[in-house]
A and B are shown apart, each in its own frame.
Chain A
Amino acid sequence: MTAAPPPPASGAPGPVAAPPKFAAAARVALADTALRSGLRGAAAAARERRSAFPEPADWEDLREAGRAIKDEALLNLDAHLEELERAVTEAGGTVHWAAGAAEARRIVTGLVRASGAAEVVKSTSAVTREIGLAGALARAGVAVRETGLGELLAQPGEDGQASYRDRAGGPSDDPAVLAEAARLRLRERFLGARVAVTGANFLVAETGTLVLLESEGNGRMCLTLPDTLISVAGIEKVVPTWADLEVLLQLLPHSSSGAPMTPYVSSWTGVTPGDGPREFHLVLLDNGRTKALADEVGRAALRCIGCSACLDVCPVYERTGPAPYGPVRAGPIGAILTPQLRGVERAAEASLPFASTLCGACADVCPVKIDIPEVLVHLRGRVVESRRHRPVPTPELVLMRGLAWTMSDPRRYEAALRRGTRWARLMSRGGRIRRLPGLLGKWTDARDLPAPPPATFRAWWSGRRR
């Protein structure tokens, strides 16, 4: 029997090359000067927005309320989901349950096929990216029309920025020209579309209502014009009541753009005869979420309301951009969510909890008070544990165990310190070490290390007492 390759957690079916570790992908991103310049600009703009819109006076109370609401919703997730399913069904919608990404892709593809449509309009959504839905639809022969302006312009081909021309026939980078051209093209698409695929920010259990926040209005077009509406949402998006929503609708806009309100807040409940879609499907996705929920520390990540504030302030993200974090979620929240949703068996996911200096800027701004550094350290422990019992121990495990053994005894520690400093002094010139061997060579690639002085502190101390 031959071992089957591990199934890809999302995206294309069949064997694919293992995704790279964060550090390797980051190296590529760091060398992309246009990306770096764009990220710098975006980070500066985000900082400016933050200072332009000061926090509301009751901000800390709101954060605490948001944390409590999400924690309660997650603790009683089973009950809230059943209530949601009942309410959606009563309102004329259909609820589908997807345990994994492949099942979700199959459900959505099947629904589109059943409608007979060859084309869908799609709003920007993190969860559809997580499950690789656009690729699956394309492979099923369905043309996917992205309607989010950013995604539209970033596409190659007929919809991409390169296809828009200014009056002289040259390529245009005038935002007004691009927006107007995209608007005309999108209107045509919306009016012809029969099926739309969207995500959702919140699911209100008591009425079976979905809520979407966006700034362009293209999401709202997806919700209202087509005959069939398919919305995909993670099960953690459920909140029990509209009263809960009131708090979250204050937290999310402020944390994502600084502004007190998002331009378009849309809500939809089932179907209404003669108004809007005639068919509504809600695909509820687990894809690792219940596993995360079972982790007492890790489950805090499921509180996330998708504001991106942690990305705005993250010094690592500001330098690498989204790509090294993989397709699920970028930035600090991705570093704690992705390894939980996809597991830490593969090197790529296992490297994510280490993609942080633990500076804590993310925890400071999180509107639902996710202690991201705490979860990162917790997940680092899980990664180490998952590799502890390999037949051949990792070099790092050998090193860290050896260090712990040495340091657990003052005499051993002192002897090692003496040996280590003597060795390091031999490698130095002019008080500096310019090249270290092995793992530590990563330090001296771009940084000197000061040579250790002849006497350690404890040697000085004991000499002084004598």
Chain B
Amino acid sequence: MRVALFVACFDDALFPATGRAVTALLERLGHDVAYPPGQTCCGQMHWTTGYHREAAGLARAFTAAFEGAEAIVAPSASCAAAVRDAYPRIARAARDTALARAAEDLAVYELTEFLVDVLGVTDVGAFFPHRVTYHPSCQSARALGIGDRPLRLLRAVKGIDLVELPAADECCGFGGAFAVKNADVSVAMAADKVGHVRGTGADVLCAVDNGCLAHIGGALSRLRAGVRVVHLAEILAATGPA
């Protein structure tokens, strides 16, 4: 299958390892990965921050960049949710029927949806000998409803010691611009999430959204907590001791 890789701008700059891991993983599973060079940013941040006109411009550019792609795969639940759920709303707010139609034609999948639902795999042949806990980001759990797909993929990883995160469904406090506009509340929420993560004794926290991981990981790093954050894709791509 020919897969069009959608790498969020945030990941492009700060977490390029995630995109590299998705590429390695999908190629290992025998698929053809393309990276449409016209992509920049899906417009999620502009949309959720209230800059709806600007979001519409970015959404138009995104649909043009990915036009005709058989399957678009994003290692980011919030960006996938932006394209799937927000684009119809962005188009409605901008009264842009062409954008609405173009958005409808985009087959965008969050990585674990694509692996489990489209490719039908849960064991991707990964090896990751660490104690790992998983944080289900709100956009993945609520907006996309990916349920236990990430956990099914993680359970099949060789060598992994997967531990349950208490109060996992509670928001970590990232929320995009919320993290700076309401930094104090955001950090108060991170403090509780960090407490739960540390309580598991895990040395690795994973998720399918690098935004949440940058937020929780930023607090863990500041505290020298001895827990690192890793995108789920990087665990699934790993085949040797890392």
Interface residues of A (CB under 8 A from B): 22-23, 26-27, 30, 315-316, 319-320, 353-361, 363-364, 374, 377-378, 380-385, 397, 400-401, 403-404, 407-410, 413, 417, 420-421, 432, 434, 439-440, 442-443, 445-450, 452-453, 455-461
Q: Mark B181-209, 1 if CB is under 8 A from A, else 0.
A: 11111111110000000000000000000
Question: Can you pick out 22 interface pairs between chain A and chain B where the beta carbons lie within 8 Å of each other?
Answer: A23-B182, A26-B185, A315-B173, A316-B182, A358-B176, A359-B171, A360-B138, A361-B169, A364-B142, A380-B50, A384-B49, A384-B52, A385-B52, A397-B51, A400-B51, A407-B9, A410-B38, A446-B222, A447-B215, A448-B217, A456-B16, A457-B12
Whether the pair A446, B173 counts as a contact (CB closer than 8 A) is no
Cβ of A51 to closest chain B Cβ, rounded Å? 13
Whether the pair B51, A404 counts as a contact (CB closer than 8 A) is yes
Whether the pair B9, A420 counts as a contact (CB closer than 8 A) is no
A440–B218 Cα gap in the complex (Å)? 13
Whether the pair B179, A443 counts as a contact (CB closer than 8 A) is yes
Whether the pair A354, B52 counts as a contact (CB closer than 8 A) is no
Whether the pair A354, B58 counts as a contact (CB closer than 8 A) is no
Cβ of B4 within 8 Å of any chain A Cβ, yes or no, is no
Most chain-B Cβ atoms within 10 A of its Cβ — which of A357, A363, A403, A407?
A357
Q: Which of A356, A360, A421 contacts B13 (CB 8 A)?
A: A421
Considering only residues 155-182 of chain B, those with a C-beta below 8 Å from chain A are: 169-171, 173-182
Whether the pair B170, A315 counts as a contact (CB closer than 8 A) is yes
Cβ of B107 within 8 Å of any chain A Cβ, yes or no, is no
Whether the pair A460, B175 counts as a contact (CB closer than 8 A) is no
Whether the pair B184, A23 counts as a contact (CB closer than 8 A) is yes
Whether the pair A354, B13 counts as a contact (CB closer than 8 A) is no
* Residues of A contacting B18 in the complex (Cβ-Cβ under 8 angstroms): 457
Considering only residues 104-135 of chain B, those with a C-beta below 8 Å from chain A are: none
Q: Which of A380, A439, A458 contacts B37 (CB 8 A)?
A: A458
Known contacts A404-B46, A458-B12; A446 and B19 CB within 8 A of each other = no
Whether the pair A377, B187 counts as a contact (CB closer than 8 A) is no
Whether the pair A460, B9 counts as a contact (CB closer than 8 A) is no
Cβ of A465 to closest chain B Cβ, rounded Å? 9
* Residues of B contacting A460 in the complex (Cβ-Cβ under 8 angstroms): 16, 19-20
Whether the pair A449, B46 counts as a contact (CB closer than 8 A) is no
* Residues of B contacting A448 in the complex (Cβ-Cβ under 8 angstroms): 217-218, 221-222
Nearest B residue to A36 via CB reads: B188
Known contacts A356-B178, A447-B187, A456-B13; A461 and B40 CB within 8 A of each other = no
Q: Which of B54, B176, B179, B214 contacts A450 (CB 8 A)?
A: B214
The count of residues in chain B whose C-beta lies closer than 8 Å to any C-beta of chain A is 67
* Residues of B contacting A360 in the complex (Cβ-Cβ under 8 angstroms): 138, 142-143
A440–B214 Cα gap in the complex (Å)? 14
Cβ of B47 within 8 Å of any chain A Cβ, yes or no, is yes
* Residues of A contacting B182 in the complex (Cβ-Cβ under 8 angstroms): 22-23, 26, 316, 354-355
Nearest B residue to A421 via CB reads: B13
* Residues of B contacting A385 in the complex (Cβ-Cβ under 8 angstroms): 50, 52
Nearest A residue to B171 via CB reads: A359
Cβ of B7 within 8 Å of any chain A Cβ, yes or no, is yes
Cβ of A20 to closest chain B Cβ, rounded Å? 13
Given A420-B13, A458-B12: 6 more A-B contacts, CB < 8 Å: A357-B178, A385-B52, A446-B183, A446-B219, A456-B16, A459-B16
* Residues of A contacting B190 in the complex (Cβ-Cβ under 8 angstroms): 446-447
Q: Mark B212-235, 1 if CB is under 8 A from A, else 0.
A: 001101110110000000000000
A210–B179 Cα gap in the complex (Å)? 44
Cβ of B93 within 8 Å of any chain A Cβ, yes or no, is yes
A358–B18 Cα gap in the complex (Å)? 24
Nearest B residue to A387 via CB reads: B50
Known contacts A377-B50, A400-B46; A410 and B40 CB within 8 A of each other = yes
Most chain-A Cβ atoms within 10 A of its Cβ — which of B15, B17, B138?
B138
